[in-house]
Structure 1
Amino acid sequence: MPAEPWNTFHAGDNLDVLPRLAPGSVDLVYTDPPYNTGNDFAYADRFRDHAAWTAMMRPRLVAVREVLAPHGAIFVSIDDNEAAHLRLLMDEVFGEANFLAQIVVNLNPKGRQLGRGFATSHEYVLAYARHLPSCVVEGSSTEAVDEGDFPLTAPDGRRFRYLPLRNTNKKFNPITAPTLHFELYGDPVSGRVATTPFDGSRALTPVFGDGRPAVWRWSRPKVDEQPDDLECRVIRGRTGERADIFQRDWLEREGGRRKKLRTIWLAEEIGSTDTAVAELKALVGHVFESPKPTGLVRRILSTVPSDAVVLDPFAGSGTTGHAVALANVADGGSRRCISINSTEPTRVGSNAHLAGLATVADITRARLSAVAAQVGGGLEEPLGG
């Protein structure tokens, strides 16, 4: 077991537990709060209207903000019933300027067939920084990189693709970026590129496809630093053949290649409600109606450093703690997760109640105990919750 357990569990109301955590001690929050559906398994009939749900959430989000580090961020799952109200509430508590993304999560690919209207197949994750200029969240991931995007192979076996050195965004031109409009010298026979003339070279300036002046993406000093990553080639443009300069963009880069994550996350990428139920069932049985898949949380974990302290104030079935343990095993990280869940009784007759899990906290504890036994990392439960 690591020196510090990967998972810590507090049983109790999060409004009581959160003030006991050190201010600024958490790097990342992911949580899946009770939805205002009127029939949620653990919180049935608690919220009669949007105002009551918002009144429940506001002080809890304020308390979460207090324990979140300046460089941290919060990700909250929500469905259509409260997505608009949660967005306004997050703007209020965390500030509109700290909005990161509203992600569409495809958790039910087949769509819900019950009821009227459309077959809803998605929920949302709202993401906000504690303080955007300081935020460590990187909205990219190694898993988003497609090797098929790098079809070429260098003599040394490295995969790459060609990218125009010219900036293709017309917002960047000799008027808006004058220092990036200059002559480079290239030889389309040898492929060599330099900032000064050499035998066989020709002077080349960046132009758009229609012939209008453009700018390079690299400065002169960067070209001098990395000339071997550039190549002069002959291409066929609108006006016939011409020489142009391209960057060899390598699949494998120092520090690892990352690609921006899109804001639509598909079930085949991060799992679905069905796979989440199967994950939980394999550990402790089918004792929670709508758990989130660990793949969803692991994707969020991939946007922050591997030593992050993670908090889930509405821990539910314990998906977040499970995902943290799986991520640590996968990459050798030292993430730690603090999970909080209430001691509210489980509904009489529910699978959880029939399994002997008398409270919602018992479900979380059972899963995290099973994770510690099967995955590793240990579990700590402080006295007094």
Structure 2
Amino acid sequence: MINKNEAIKNNIKVIDNSIKNELFENLKTNFPQTIIEGKADLKAISLLLGLDKKSDISGYELTWTGKGLSNALYSSPCNKELKLEEIFSNADCKNLNSSNIEMKDSNNPKNIIIRGDNLDVLKILKSAYSEKIKMIYIDPPYNTTNENFIYPDNFRQDYKKILEEVGLIEIDENGQEIESEDLKFFKNIQGSRTHSGWLSFMLPRLKLARDLLKEDGVIFISIDDNEQANLKLLCDEIFGEDNFVANIIWQKKKGGGQDSQDFAKEHEYILCYSKYEWKINDKKEQLNENEFNKIINGKKAIISKLEKWGIGALMEDAPSLYYPIKDPNGDDFYPIAPNGEKGRWRKKPENLDNEHIYWQKNQKGRLTPYEVIYFDEVKDKEKIIKTRTIFTDYGTTTDATKEILNLFNNQKIFDTPKPINLIKTLLQISTSTNSNDIILDFFAGSGTTAQAVMELNAEDKGNREFILVQIDEEIKEDKSKSAYDFCKKELKSENPVISDITIERVKRAAQKIIQSSKDKDLNLGFKVFTLEDKPEIIIDKDKNLKLINRRNLSVIDKVVNMFLISGKTLDKKIENIFDGKLYKCEDSFYLISFNKEILKYLIKTQNEYIFIDAYGDIELEDFLNLGAGFKERLKVVY
């Protein structure tokens, strides 16, 4: 292992994503008011947690107990890294043994599924995927009465040292943790099914999602009435009120509905926010000649009011467009707004000849000018169809259940999937067919998003890519026996988890698409990663540095984690230079092990960066006698 202080002392660049003094360094950077004379202050932390009952909050903002700490969790380092579990190739739809595998063109699919806590995964992805995701769709927990969070945010290891430091946790003589009354209150208010707990859970994830979105990216979030209002306020804060696009109402079922004591609830919501510059892909439709239902001057035509309606229809909105024209009786005709006030013209009447102005009485009997549009004169025979905010024909929960049953031989192994057509519609209005758009779903559930991406690509010849993230949520036999039995018997899972079903669904959907499609170049393969603990450097009781290394990574795994940190995405090709020791990806080398032959090779290179695995079998002394120009290219990764 390379000593970090020695590397810094010798002017070698160090990249350290490992956990430092838990959240202490983070609070020091982002919440300096909590650090007094070099120590975390209990009163300031209490104010940050929202436990100080005397604090006065003025102005307009969404606040809750623990908001400050969940903000700190957003920017705290991640102590996890990726491990390649398997590769599913669309070439032959067979699983490939992933041990020591090289990701070349033939077995390097661009789609990704990651098992693990999405908070950790989003942090891992941030270095390489910042501002590269075109569309995010998530279906997070709704925080309903029959739902418990399985994400352990509230009591993560990240908090322990800081909670001890500020006096919220004490360790007794037997080494047992004793919680203060304030912490007990905080844990109670942060527990499952509370608004504070749910908001603390969502905030860091949505902030990371914002970081990953492209400038012209968009996020869609499914939710129901229980947290919709809070989610709207939270997203206004994170994405900005100006970037709110729509609150879509999705009719999830039709008719019936005995699950409520009052109204029969048939809908949910999909909140939509853009990053900055996203523009919806409006649908286009061929013009129907029959829609031109008037005959004017012997030709098929439609008419459109020359007076402006809707937003900006008043005279003061465009004073230069308020003036009279002569009506058929020779009288002055001024535009009037729909509310009866002085209006304005939609377009200048003088730019239209008499053949293109048609006078007709409106509903109030007022003679009114209309623009005439003749079918024969329309050059583009397509019309724009605006996407409406009420989704009534985009699939229901019943459709979604049938889709699962069809893939899994009539076995109901997932309770609350979303219909494929719903996600495909969101993809159609937010992504392009030929831009290699990346779609992220970090609450993947049954994997509907992946199937929607693959099916849409097959239909419109697109090249979209997906990244799914799903935590290994335990499937309990007494709660979902069919899913438990399926994972045990068919998938041979020792401990059935939801991500087993996610991965299996994507495999089956890919096979189904391959069988029904004539296109053999579809992007249907995917890589599966899991999370592993990073090595940890601690100070023992004798104040000596000690490395705790539980790493179980292949050489390629180590390279993948280094090139993520260096900004390379997971679809990149890795070139094997010295087997098991040196690899290359685009403009960078990745050094795992070292010898004189490798040193001789690297010295001959010129501009490439050289990333070194700090935990590998490499000594810093090997590099100290090299020229300054060479050392400038070195980056030690912790």
TM-score scaled by length of structure 2: 0.49
Compare 351-360 and 24-33 and name the one that shifted more. Answer: 351-360
Matched, 1:355 2:486: yes
**For the residues of structure 1 that align with 2:317 and 2:202, how far apart are their CA atoms?**
46
> Cα deviation per residue 1:12-59 (whole Å; 9 max; x = unaligned)?
111121123211110111110122124349959982322222222111
In the TM superposition, what is the alpha-carbon distance from 1:161 to its structure 2 partner?
Answer: 3.4
The match for 1:176 among 317, 321, 325 is 317
Aligned position for 2:278: 135
Q: After TM superposition, list the pairs within 5 Å mapping 1:242-261 onto structure 2.
A: 244-248=369-373, 254=380, 256-261=382-387
Matched, 1:167 2:312: no
Aligned position for 1:198: none
Shift in alpha-carbon separation, 1:255–1:96, aligned structure 2, 3 A: farther
In the TM superposition, what is the alpha-carbon distance from 1:149 to its structure 2 partner?
Answer: 9.3
**For the residues of structure 2 that align with 1:281 and 1:44, how far apart are their CA atoms?**
28
Shift in alpha-carbon separation, 1:31–1:237, aligned structure 2, 3 A: closer
The match for 1:364 among 491, 495, 502 is 502
Shift in alpha-carbon separation, 1:62–1:255, aligned structure 2, 3 A: farther
AA aligned opposite 1:141: K
**For the residues of structure 2 that align with 1:142 and 1:217, how far apart are their CA atoms?**
23
In the TM superposition, what is the alpha-carbon distance from 1:127 to its structure 2 partner?
Answer: 1.1
AA aligned opposite 1:375: I
**For the residues of structure 2 that align with 1:301 and 1:20, how far apart are their CA atoms?**
25
Instruction: Specify the SS of the correspondent of 2:219.
Output: strand
**For the residues of structure 1 that align with 2:289 and 2:257, how far apart are their CA atoms?**
34
Aligned position for 2:133: 26
In the TM superposition, what is the alpha-carbon distance from 1:279 to its structure 2 partner?
Answer: 1.0
Compare 111-120 and 252-261 and name the one that shifted more. Answer: 252-261
In the TM superposition, what is the alpha-carbon distance from 1:236 to its structure 2 partner?
Answer: 3.2
Shift in alpha-carbon separation, 1:168–1:136, aligned structure 2, 3 A: closer
AA aligned opposite 2:213: L
**For the residues of structure 1 that align with 2:198 and 2:218, how far apart are their CA atoms?**
22
AA aligned opposite 1:91: D
TM-score scaled by length of structure 1: 0.78
The match for 2:511 among 373, 376, 379 is 373
Question: Conserved in 2, the CA contact under 8 Å of 1:111 and 1:120?
Answer: no
Matched, 1:121 2:252: no
Question: Conserved in 1, the CA contact under 8 Å of 2:359 and 2:369?
Answer: yes
**For the residues of structure 2 that align with 1:207 and 1:361, how far apart are their CA atoms?**
62
Question: Conserved in 1, the CA contact under 8 Å of 2:306 and 2:349?
Answer: no
Instruction: Specify the SS of the correspondent of 2:501.
Output: helix
Question: Conserved in 2, the CA contact under 8 Å of 1:23 and 1:68?
Answer: yes
Matched, 1:273 2:397: yes
Question: Conserved in 1, the CA contact under 8 Å of 2:115 and 2:529?
Answer: no
Instruction: Specify the SS of the correspondent of 2:225.
Output: coil
Shift in alpha-carbon separation, 1:334–1:263, aligned structure 2, 3 A: same
Question: Conserved in 2, the CA contact under 8 Å of 1:166 and 1:206?
Answer: no
In the TM superposition, what is the alpha-carbon distance from 1:301 to its structure 2 partner?
Answer: 1.5
Question: Conserved in 2, the CA contact under 8 Å of 1:35 and 1:82?
Answer: yes
Matched, 1:86 2:228: no
Matched, 1:331 2:460: yes
Instruction: Specify the SS of the correspondent of 2:226.
Output: coil
Q: After TM superposition, list the pairs within 5 Å mapping 1:1-385 onto structure 2.
A: 5=109, 7-21=111-125, 22-40=129-147, 47-131=192-276, 134-138=277-281, 140-142=282-284, 150-152=291-293, 161-169=302-310, 171-181=312-322, 207-208=335-336, 214-219=343-348, 223=351, 231-237=356-362, 244-248=369-373, 254=380, 256-266=382-392, 269-284=393-408, 285-306=411-432, 307=435, 308-349=437-478, 350=480, 351-356=482-487, 358-376=496-514, 377-384=523-530
Structure 2: gaps of 5 or more residues: 1-89, 92-104, 153-190, 515-522, 532-638
> Cα deviation per residue 1:313-352 (whole Å; 9 max; x = unaligned)?
1011111111112222222222222111111221224122
AA aligned opposite 1:303: I
**For the residues of structure 1 that align with 2:375 and 2:463, how far apart are their CA atoms?**
30
AA aligned opposite 1:172: A
AA aligned opposite 2:278: C
**For the residues of structure 1 that align with 2:379 and 2:470, how far apart are their CA atoms?**
42
Aligned position for 1:196: none
RCO comparison, higher one (Cα < 8 Å, 6+): 1
**For the residues of structure 1 that align with 2:476 and 2:379, how far apart are their CA atoms?**
52
Shift in alpha-carbon separation, 1:154–1:343, aligned structure 2, 3 A: farther
AA aligned opposite 1:126: L
Structure 1: gaps of 5 or more residues: 189-201
Higher Rg? 2
In the TM superposition, what is the alpha-carbon distance from 1:76 to its structure 2 partner?
Answer: 0.4
Instruction: Specify the SS of the correspondent of 2:254.
Output: coil
Aligned position for 1:197: none
Aligned position for 2:541: none
Compare 102-111 and 210-219 and name the one that shifted more. Answer: 210-219
In the TM superposition, what is the alpha-carbon distance from 1:171 to its structure 2 partner?
Answer: 4.7
Aligned residues: 360
Instruction: Specify the SS of the correspondent of 2:356.
Output: strand
Instruction: Specify the SS of the correspondent of 1:355.
Output: helix
**For the residues of structure 1 that align with 2:529 and 2:383, how far apart are their CA atoms?**
44
> Cα deviation per residue 1:52-99 (whole Å; 9 max; x = unaligned)?
222221111112111111221111001122212222222232222322
Compare 321-330 and 289-298 and name the one that shifted more. Answer: 321-330
In the TM superposition, what is the alpha-carbon distance from 1:248 to its structure 2 partner?
Answer: 1.9
Instruction: Specify the SS of the correspondent of 1:69.
Output: strand
> Cα deviation per residue 1:120-153 (whole Å; 9 max; x = unaligned)?
111111111222xx22335x4348x996993538
Shift in alpha-carbon separation, 1:241–1:18, aligned structure 2, 3 A: closer
